[in-house]
Amino acid sequence: METIAKKDLLKLISLEKKLYGNIALTSLTAYSIFWLKEWNIPSSIENISIVNAKLFPTKFAMVGWPEYPDVNRTNRSVLQMRPKYRNLAYSASDKGVFLNENGLNEAKALVNKFGAPDFLGKKKLNAEYSYEESERGKGRARSVHPEDAIKKIKSSILFNLYRDGMLDTAEAIHLIGMLGVYDHTPSKEKKRKIKEVIDFAKEIDDKEVQQFLIQAQEKFNRYLNK
């Protein structure tokens, strides 16, 4: 999949109102969160609000000011997604919003309906996503290159904590964010993802990333084997 940067969110092309007009705000928000994760962009309320407003302006843009996102509306939608209500997602104020299995199913249903979002000035993306591939154990996609995978690792919060000598402060949320999995993803799959990335690092002889991943495995050994 083509790399998407945070600034590219402003280039998202809106969907036609008739496609999403009757769909619940929580489901639309799940779709937005899903793609933020696929693009390796933090799922903060601010970022979700931008994606929501760009893709679904009649639902999430400010009334009278359609070029601006209605953050309050997105925030209310996220609150409704919590386990106590719709049970689609969980969140941490300093880390972002993350879909649970129910939320993932909602999002995937809309991916099948809408396809992948389009961007101004970028070629049309395929409506494919890494979660389905990894969960079904299909192995590495042909389009994945070791250099790209390692570049993604090096851009992760977890790797930067390692470089700053602060790996001991890292949390499991940083690990699953780097691996592109979910908390409920089976431990076996998480460990497979780590091994895959280690193999990538060996393939291009990146010893720094190899050492980092070994230390990350040691730190999160309990989490990876629960």
Residue with tokens 């899903």: 34
pLDDT tens-digit series, residues 114-124: 999 999 977 66
For residue 169 the two structure tokens come to 């402060």
Domain boundaries, the chain: 6-128, 141-224
Burial class (CB in 10 A: 0-12, 13-18, 19+), 24: middle
For residue 166 the two structure tokens come to 């602060």
6-128 sits in which CATH class? mainly alpha
**Half-sphere exposure of 210 toward its Cβ, with a 13 Å CA cutoff?**
9
Would the pTM count as exceeding 0.75? no
pLDDT at 185 (0 to 100): 81
DSSP reduced 3-state for 65? strand
For residue 77 the two structure tokens come to 């939608």
pLDDT tens-digit series, residues 80-110: 998 888 889 987 766 789 998 889 999 999 9
SS3 breakdown of the chain: % helix, strand, coil, rounded to 5? 60, 10, 35
pLDDT tens-digit series, residues 32-76: 999 999 888 999 999 999 999 999 999 999 988 888 999 999 999
